[in-house]
Amino acid sequence: MKIHEYQGREILRQAGIAVPPGVTIDAIDAAAGAFKTATAGMAKPLAVVKAQVHAGGRGKAGFVKLVKTPEEAVESAKFMLTHRMTSPQTPPEGLEVRKLLVAAGVDIADRKGAAGAREEFYLAVTADRKSRRNILIASREGGVEIEQVAHDRPGAIIKEPMHPLLGLLPNQARRVAFELGFRGKQVGQAVDIMIKLAKLYVERDCTLAEINPLIITPPSPEFPDGQVLAIDAKFNFDDNGLFRQPQIQAWADPTEENPAEIRAHKFGLSYIPLDGNIGCLVNGAGLAMATMDIVKLHGGEPANFLDVGGGATEEAVTEAFGIILSDKRVKGVMVNIFGGIMKCDVIAQGIINAARNYKNADGSIGFKVPLVVRLEGTNVKEGRALLDGAKSSLPTLQAATDLTDAATKVCAAVG
């Protein structure tokens, strides 16, 4: 599960990591007031208006804007709330922006305290399959180019594996802080942030906890070497841990999720949209993967991964068809069921019901795309008999004798 930056900032704050204050708005005319609140008490007012969407790359897309007056804040808010945001991390059609964060802007200095000589750091905690540990990732070349840096100069990325029980140790954090070039009182601040980030990653069941950028403010009487601050926050959470994370669960934002995935979740279906044109309806994750492989082997491209599970009901099967066919790229559907706990006649009845209830865009009823069905296992005879008896409701149905036959037929059908 993903959350918005303003919520991520709240998580950081609760963990004791310093973040500039801010307010969220969802209307253009709230921007001027938000600017005043965010910049209250500043000698030279500066705020940053930031689109709140579940995708990064906002800076480059023009959806993070520094503003110096209420009027500029309104102008930025107007642009962001009336344009879809497109970045390499969004679908091609972009994302609608419904919420903005108006936060106190900060001056970014470098490690030596020179204002204007900006330096941005990258800091994240995630799981690393290679070392089979949680790792701290850090770089002194953070900011909006981090993906490029990781690609071009992997040496500029520090990776520090952590002990599974002890977490990030103070000496590890200090080593990373020095490697990043922090100096004087910055070191203690950076170490404190790293340790807190590593701790909250585990406590909050994260799969990613990322601060990009981490910055240093110009020196002030309170912070003679500058203050180390997080000015962006990105979190992903493990869905399996949500039951014990009520605060995070409450932040689930269905408007940011793929509607088909939400629908699938309601019926206990595992659905992952892919790029191809052959819809797959399968029981069991292993069989679903094997089905995708065999479709590919015969030159086809699966449009999705869909596992109806071991004990799917007729309703769930009907819903599964609705979800698969809601993807307009789907030009054919392959049903591959191996009946164990699942009974083939239940699936067959589900297919028939789905066909009798499926409404096309033009109002007509029934499936128009080719449908190839391979059934095997418990109650297969009953299942096949049901399908045979419902031919008039399933004019595009082809029965397949085995997996290869099914893949060959569906690939031929979609051309």
Among 27, 42, 66, 297, the residue binding ligand GDP under the rule CB under 6 A is 66
Contact mark string toward ligand GDP, 242..271, x via CB under 6 A:
------------------------------
Q: Which residue of 127, 144, 208, 289 would you call a contact of ligand GDP, by CB under 6 A?
A: 144
Environment class of 77 (CB within 10 Å of its CB; exposed 0-12, middle 13-18, buried 19+): buried
For residues 91 and 55, the answer to whether their CB atoms sit within 8 Å is no
State which residue, 136 or 233, has the beta carbon closest to ligand GDP.
233
- Is 271 a residue of the active site? no
Q: Report the distance separating Cα 407 and Cα 292, nearest Å.
A: 9
CB nearer to ligand GDP: give 212 or 291. 212
Token output for 152: 């071009």
The binder of 231, among Mn ion, ligand GDP, none, by C-beta within 5 to 8 A per type, is ligand GDP
In whole angstroms, the minimum distance from the beta carbon of 89 to ligand GDP comes to: 8
Q: Which of 273, 85, 232 is nearest to 76 (CA)?
A: 85
Give me the least distance between CB of 49 and ligand GDP, in Å please.
10
- Strands of the sheet containing 278-282, edge to edge, are 270-273, 304-307, 278-282, 332-339, 371-377, 397-399
Residue numbers 193-222 binding Mn ion by CB under 5 A: 212
Nearest residue to ligand GDP by CB is: 59
Nearest by Cα to 305 from 282, 332, 329, 322: 282
Kindly tell me which residue out of 1, 30, 64, 278 binds ligand GDP, with binding defined by CB under 6 A.
Answer: 64
User: Quick one: which of 252, 264, 256 has its CA closest to 309?
Assistant: 264
* Catalytic hit among 6, 120, 122, 271: 122
Residues 6 or more apart whose CB falls under 8 angstroms from that of 148 comprise none
Rounded Cα–Cα distance for residues 118 and 358 (Å): 58
48 binds, among Mn ion, ligand GDP, none (CB under 5 to 8 A by kind): ligand GDP
Q: Does 232 bind Mn ion (CB under 5 A)?
A: yes
Binding residues for ligand GDP (CB under 6 A):
48, 50, 56-59, 64, 66, 105-106, 108, 120, 143-144, 212-213, 231-232
